[in-house]
Amino acid sequence: MKVKINLIIAITLITLTGCVNSGEEHTIKDSPPHSDHKWNYSGETGPQYWEKLESNNDCGGLHQSPVNIIDLNTVSGNIVNGIQDIHYSEIDTIKSISNNGHTIQYNFNGDNNIISYEGNNYKMIQFHFHSPSEHTIDGVRYPMEIHAVHHSEELDSYIVFAALVKQGEPDPTFTFLEKHLPIDVGETKDINATYSFGSTIQDLFGLDSMGVYTYNGSLTTPPCTEKVLWIVMKNANSASAEQIDLLQSLMPLNNYREVQPLNGRKIFRETLSD
């Protein structure tokens, strides 16, 4: 597998700012489809009522996300072997940033950053944030989670990279991102600013390869579409308390969905390597 490592975690780190709304927030045309109905993370339009908000959603389905990943119960897998190539432009342009009332989201030109998976192209269209994390590992919920969303127009399906964030050393990438904050609810700012994706996995993590968990699930917001391959990074990124606090202050309190039953699904442990 050839992974052009201007990669995932350049995104993941650049990702210290944004989630999808067709099950991960967005109003941008290039983003996945969006539910027009009002929904929230609490009250009468909270997650327990999402299934009833509209017809033809998957929120009550059997293959929902997020999930609790119990490491001892994972099995060795090779789903990522279906990735023929991951290509990100070394220097790419962030088109815009938006605050849709559910998350902070950075939007990209998907034609520049593509995952080739089992003969189909998945374009990276945006990344967003949840705080605290949606996925948990061995029951532990992290301060933040970043989702980098890739969409296949041909299949109308998704690949989402999920990066957990722990409190620790500040992330230098955030210096670039935070200058576009704050942003009001309902506001979209055109940015058209370039960012270098030239860093390698080794530079970012000090590793020759990266451990990941993979499973089949759904988008984590309405309509909770069950056509998502999740790739959850095992090693959490670090961000300072100040960086985490800034993002939290711009998003709804606890903008996460509770973990969902596996209903017989397996979670695989794999290695994504150069």
The per-residue pLDDT for 19 is 37
The per-residue pLDDT for 80 is 82
pLDDT band for position 166 (50/70/90)? Answer: very high
Question: Using an 8 Å Cβ cutoff, are 31 and 127 in contact?
Answer: no
The first and second tokens of residue 2, run together, are 């050839």
**Average pLDDT, integer, range 219-226:** 96
Letter for the amino acid at 35?
S
Nearest-angstrom CA–CA distance, 266 and 75: 7
Q: What is the pLDDT of residues 37-82, one digit of tens each?
A: 589 999 999 999 999 988 889 999 999 999 999 999 999 998 888 8
Residue 35 has pLDDT above 50, yes or no: no
Residue 67 neighbours by CB under 8 Å, 6+ apart: 135, 215, 217, 259, 260, 262, 265, 267
Question: Using an 8 Å Cβ cutoff, are 48 and 39 in contact?
Answer: no
Nearest-angstrom CA–CA distance, 112 and 126: 12
Residue 16 has pLDDT above 60, yes or no: no
The per-residue pLDDT for 238 is 86
Q: What is the pLDDT of residues 236-256, one digit of tens each?
A: 888 889 988 988 888 888 999
The per-residue pLDDT for 200 is 35
Question: Using an 8 Å Cβ cutoff, are 31 and 135 in contact?
Answer: no
Average pLDDT of the residues of the chain? 80
pTM: 0.84
The per-residue pLDDT for 6 is 37
Q: What is the pLDDT of residues 205-215, one digit of tens each?
A: 333 457 899 99
User: Within 13 Å of residue 151, how many CA atoms lie on the same side as its CB?
Assistant: 23
Question: Using an 8 Å Cβ cutoff, are 20 and 65 in contact?
Answer: no
**Average pLDDT, integer, range 225-241:** 92
The per-residue pLDDT for 92 is 65
pLDDT band for position 230 (50/70/90)? Answer: very high
Residue 44 neighbours by CB under 8 Å, 6+ apart: none
Considering only residues 46 and 31, tell me which one the structure prediction assigns the higher pLDDT.
Answer: 46
Letter for the amino acid at 269?
R
Domains (range + CATH), the chain: 2-273 (3.10.200.10)
Q: What is the pLDDT of residues 103-141, one digit of tens each?
A: 988 887 767 788 899 999 999 888 899 999 999 999 999
Considering only residues 71 and 178, tell me which one the structure prediction assigns the higher pLDDT.
Answer: 71
Residue 170 has pLDDT above 70, yes or no: yes
**Average pLDDT, integer, range 211-224:** 95
